[in-house]
Each structure stands twice: as structure tokens, then as C-alpha cells.
Amino acid sequence: MNAIKHAMLGGAIALSLAGTAQAQEETIKVGVLHSLSGTMAISETTLKDTMLMLIDEQNAKGGLLGKKLEAVVVDPASDWPLFAEKARELLTVSKVDVMFGCWTSVSRKSVLPVIEELNGLLFYPVQYEGEESSRNVFYTGAAPNQQAIPATDYFLDELGVQKFALLGTDYVYPRTTNNILEAYLISKGIPKEDIFVNYTPFGHSDWSKIVADVVALGADGKKVGVISTINGDANIGFYKELAAAGVSADEIPVVAFSVGEEELSGLDTSNLVGHLAAWNYFQSADVPVNAEFITKWKAFAGEKRVTNDPMEATVIGFNMWVKAVEAAGSTEVDKVRAAMYGLEVPNLTGGTAKMLPNHHLTKPVLIGEIQADGQFDIISQTEPVPGDAWTDFLPESKVLESDWAELDCGMYNSKTKTCVQIKSNY
């Protein structure tokens, strides 16, 4: 009798385990690869929360392909090699169908060889330096021609800036962006000696000498402007030092590419009024679709939480992925990728985002002026600009094209008519 009971019990346990395994298979797993600790947590935690909200909303609509979405959240802890390890874990252990994540380019570069090897799919939601087009990445943040170049034009054309301080954190995004901007400024007639370039480590805190050097640039009476690719919590010290030095936006305007509402929410911004940021979205965008999004976000995350550009890029990427999965009838990476080209979804500024064959979006360019409450007054907005994977301002890149739909190539040399296949080596 005991043997029969044990057999029945064993069978029940086996059925239970099989049922659990089947239930797990019945979810579509979404990897969330953002730093929740370390120097980049100030920016990335919000994107993790955004993904959780979007997944909750989609599940409330009935999920996707008849299945619920399941968030698989990991913390690469602002440690660039750990991004690669966590990406591999998401793909091989957790068996995620898609990943949304990374902020810095060095973290994305760390992940690239893993997802290319395992044919994973990453939606990358942050402005970056361009000069890349991977089969396995959709870039929903701005390329340089959708942020850096228009912001520089604003300094030249609207503010009459004659000398430029290019200040950045020391990693690939600021260095590549500033190489592009230096070449662009020289092409616009700015002498090389009137361009000051400086890089600092992540988390840098002593800005006194650098700010003094920037102030000294204007000793000859020429108007100085700062283009900032400073990332993470180093921005706090930089803006505090500007205020301490009595630098006003009228005297030396700063336009930032990595400072948004989230970064400013912890600062006394009263002394920063008038400084600028260039993004493709601001919380202050006065359109119904944005008002609805802000209401949903505050209900989910708390009344004091703000929205920002990488959140909009995350929303666009997620909605496009959902649409592509529905069109493909599958979460299989190759089928989803093929269904992505030409997809259009609403952005949060009242327009439409379209996915291009180079894995970049169409995006409007907005210039915002910092207000005392940490929000931005939108002072300039363009029509949607198609994102370029390869810049026209570096000679080695000018001949390159990206077209995954027709050419099946991210680095097509228009001169030699050949596809250059370069494996990631990060």
C-alpha cells in the first residue's frame, strides 16, 4: 500500500512540476537589462520601471499571442563586462524572447557580441554616437544627426557661439560624438584652436579647474558655448560648479545630451535656468498623448516621478516590438526583425515614429531650456528627422550605408559596392 501511495504521490509531484514548466513556457519573457545600482542607476532605474509599467499594461490587454508577458529583470550594476554576462544569462538561462536595455554605449558594445552570437534581440533606448548598425539591435534613441548636429546648429545660428567646449565622460559615446562634432564645426568655419575638448571619468566630482578653463576660453571676448556629453551622476557636480562659479546661461550656455528631467529632479535648478538640453522628447510637450502618458506614469510610479526622452524611446520600441510580434505571429527574432521595417507608432510629442531599414527611427529634434522647476521650456522643434547610422562628417563613414531590409547589410560601402562584415570585439 505504501508503495502505491508513494507512486501516486510521485506522479502528482511530476504532474505538478510538468504543469509549472508548461505554465512557464506559456509566458513570453522580456529581459530588462538596466543598471539598478552604481553610477548609472540615477538614469537607468527609471527605464526598468517604465518596462514594468508597459508589460503590466500589455498584460491587462490580454498579453501577446494569447500569452502573458513576464519581465525578467537583472542588474548589471553599471559594470560594463557584467552587461555581457547578464545578457548571456537572459538568453541562455532565462530564455528571454527580447531584451530592452543598456544606457551607455560601452554597455551596449559589451552586449553586442553576445546577442550577435546567440541571435538575440535588443531594443536600445538612448541617444548615442551612431557609427553602428547591428542586425540584432534596434536603436530607438537619437543618432548624432537627430541631436548633436542640430544642437550645434542652434548654438551657431541662434546663439552666435564662436568657441566651443566639448565636455564628456571618458567612454565611446562622448569621444565618437565629439569627433563628429569637431569635424562638423571645422567644416562650418570654426578654427580647431577654438574647440576645447575634455574628458572625465564616470562619477567625476571635482569640476573647479574644468569650469575655470571653460570660463578662460572667453577671455578674448568671443562667445563660448559648452556641448555636454557628461553622463550619469557626474552631471550633479558639473552643474553645481557652474552655479558656484557664477556662470549664467547668457554668458556661457550649456547644451546637454544626457541631462533630462530625471537628472534634474534631484538638483536645485534655480541657478541653471536658461541652460539647454537637446532631446527628441520633453515632459513639457503639450499634446494629449503626452498628457495621457504622464498621468499613467505617475499613477504607476508615484506623483513625484518625472518622464524623459529615453522613456519615450522605450515606449516606442516596446510598442513597435508588440506590433511586429503580432504581425509575425511569433516572437522568433528573425521573423520579428523582418516585420519591424516600416512600422509606425505614435510618439509622445504628437507625431509618428517610423522604423527605418537601418534599424533607426524618424524623430523630431527638440531644444529645451531649463526652468526653475526642473522642467524644460521647448524653444525649438523640427519635423521628424530620419536617423543616420553612419555620419556624413567622418570620411570613413560617409561612404557607408545601412539597409537590413534590401541589402541585408549594416555596413554597405557605396564606393566598392560591398558589404563590410565587422564582428564586435568588445
Strands (E), 13-151: 27-33, 68-74, 98-101, 122-124, 137-139
- What's the pTM? 0.88
- 233 and 203 in contact (C-beta within 8 Å)? yes
- What is residue 24's predicted lDDT score, i.e. its pLDDT? 45
Write out the chain's pLDDT in tens, 426 residues: 445 445 445 544 444 444 444 444 689 999 999 999 998 898 899 999 999 999 999 999 999 999 999 999 999 999 999 999 999 999 999 999 999 999 999 999 999 999 999 999 999 999 999 999 999 999 999 999 999 999 999 999 999 999 999 999 998 999 999 999 999 999 999 999 999 999 999 889 999 999 999 999 999 999 999 999 998 778 888 888 988 898 889 999 999 998 889 878 877 777 788 999 999 999 999 999 999 999 999 999 999 999 999 999 999 999 999 999 999 999 999 999 999 999 999 999 999 999 999 999 999 999 999 998 999 999 999 999 999 999 999 999 999 999 999 999 999 999 999 998 654 433
| C-alpha span between 323 and 352 (Å, rounded) | 14
- What is residue 180's predicted lDDT score, i.e. its pLDDT? 96
Helix H or strand E encompassing 37: none
- What is residue 12's predicted lDDT score, i.e. its pLDDT? 47
| C-alpha span between 232 and 262 (Å, rounded) | 11
- 224 and 126 in contact (C-beta within 8 Å)? no
| C-alpha span between 187 and 179 (Å, rounded) | 12
- What is residue 21's predicted lDDT score, i.e. its pLDDT? 43
Is the C-alpha dihedral spanning 12, 16, 22, 26 positive or negative? positive
**What are the residues facing 369 on neighbouring strands?**
276, 377
Q: Which fold has domain 28-142+286-363?
A: Rossmann fold (3.40.50)
| Helix segments in 280-332, DSSP class H | 288-301, 309-328
Q: Which residues, 6+ apart, have CB-to-CB distance to 170 below 8 Å?
A: 199, 200, 201, 202
Residue of 322, 321, 299, 318 lying closest to 310 (CA atoms): 318
Measured from the Cβ of residue 412, the count of other Cβ atoms closer than 10 Å reads 21
Kindly report the CATH number that applies to the domain delimited by 146-279: 3.40.50.2300
| C-alpha span between 269 and 143 (Å, rounded) | 28
- 70 and 133 in contact (C-beta within 8 Å)? no
Give 219's DSSP letter.
Answer: G
End-to-end alpha carbon distance in the chain: 62
- What is residue 287's predicted lDDT score, i.e. its pLDDT? 97
Helix H or strand E encompassing 356: none
- What is residue 422's predicted lDDT score, i.e. its pLDDT? 56
Dihedral angle computed from the Cα positions of residues 78, 80, 81 and 86, in that order, rounded to the nearest 10 degrees: 60
Give 387's DSSP letter.
Answer: P
Considering the chain, tell me which residue range(s) the CATH 3.40.50.2300 domain(s) occupy: 28-142+286-363, 146-279
Residue of 115, 102, 221, 92 lying closest to 163 (CA atoms): 221
- 411 and 133 in contact (C-beta within 8 Å)? yes
Contacts 24+ apart (CB under 8 A), 300-306: 300/49, 300/52, 300/53, 300/56, 301/49, 301/53, 304/265, 305/46, 305/49, 306/261, 306/262, 306/265, 306/374, 306/375
Specify whether the backbone of 265 is left (phi greater than 0), alpha (psi in -120 to 50) or beta.
alpha
Is the C-alpha dihedral spanning 4, 8, 13, 17 positive or negative? positive
For residue 416, the SS3 value is: coil
